[in-house]
Amino acid sequence: MLIASLLLASQLGKVTDAVNTRIQRSTILSDPNQPHRSEQTLMVGGAQIEVELRLGNHSLGRTDVLDWVNKAADAVTVYYGTFPVQHARIIVIQTGEDDNAIHGTTWGNVAGVQALSRMRLGREVTRANLDADWTMTHELVHMALSSLPDESHWLEEGLATYVEPIARAQAGQVPISKIWGDMVAGMPQGEPEAGDRGLDHTHTWGRTYWGGAMFCLTADIRIRQATHNQKGLEDALRAITAQHATIDTEWPLRRVLEIGDQATGTTVMSDLYQEWKDKSVSVDLGQLWRQLGIISTAHGVELNSGAPLAHIREAITRPVEN
């Protein structure tokens, strides 16, 4: 899961994929020692999270990185009600690149832990960069969903793209208006283009990340409409993690969606998948934003509480009481 280099390998068959996965895991665990290496265990949301730091830049301290990881884990815990796995490991490596880029990759069931994320920080990354970062939260959200078949990769990435900003907003880490502004800017990239054959068959970057996110947003709204705003997508996702359909497992997509539907008392997720999996389906995003009360301005977005679906928009970013 989440390894771009394995997407091509998977086309060669299960055996080749398994071999490449073992090679990837071996590489992760045998990286050369780096200066300022240390380990710390965080307890967040009922989970034990081992953090290994391999830092080489004196301007970026151990506390800076641990705070960054802890903040992301807190956001995920707020959204899911608990951290999605009980035992995770995060390896943070400072690369030799002279930039402030932050990259992450996450695997399931590696070396005795349910989930492992490897985060790579450029040499110029600062505390301010970490404070503004979304990547760590995105990777931790990946831990909350089973590894799916290749054709369903869009839900893995789409879910992380959609949940990450909402989790951070629910945790009070980012302004609510900003996350909706980012969705208004990013979501059009998920619309189908000419030749699109549905989410299961069109694996472009836009359809995988933002098309998957658009599926999640649509499902969230439809669940809330069907339940008079008493349930939302997070109720479905919490049920999925409660059934241990997390990154260390491999489940068929339909079974995952069925669990989500049972938790909300609807068939929204299964029905939407049936609608979108094999054919091009566009969403009138302009109309949707107006209904949600999201108004684009020269300075970002304004939120209109009098819009028809404003109560649903407000509920999406409101933390669920545990």
Judge whether 321 lies within some domain: no
Strand order in the sheet with 113-121: 37-44, 47-54, 87-94, 113-121, 102-110
Using the 3D structure, point to which of 142, 160, 185 is the last residue of a domain.
142
Is 17 part of any domain?
no
Comparing 20 with 275, which gets the higher pLDDT? 275
pLDDT at residue 129, rounded to an integer: 95
- Buried b / exposed e along 85-101 (16+ C-beta atoms within 10 A): bbebbbbbbbbeeeeee
How many domains does the chain fold into? 2
Last residue of a domain, one of 122, 142, 162: 142
Written as six digits, the tokens of 70 are 């802890």
Q: Is residue 22 in a domain?
A: no
Same domain, 157 and 258: yes
Q: Are residues 174 and 112 in the same domain?
A: no
Tokens matching residue 159: 């879910």
For residues 208 and 225, give the distance between their C-alpha atoms in angstroms, rounded to a whole number.
Answer: 26
Work out the percent of the chain whose per-residue pLDDT is above 90: 80
pTM comes to: 0.88
Identify whether 20 is part of a domain. no
Is 74 found in the same domain as 182? no
Residue 99's domain comprises: 31-142
Beta strands at 87-94 and 113-121: parallel, antiparallel or unpaired:
parallel
- Do 113 and 51 share a domain, yes or no? yes
Sole residue written with tokens 């997070």:
234
Which residue stretches of the chain are H helix? 4-10, 14-29, 62-80, 127-132, 135-142, 153-170, 176-186, 205-206, 212-226, 233-242, 253-264, 268-276, 285-292, 310-316
Residues 177 and 300 in one domain: yes
Shared domain for 100 and 178, answered yes or no, is no
- Greatest mean pLDDT among 25-39, 46-60, 96-110, 203-217 lies in 203-217
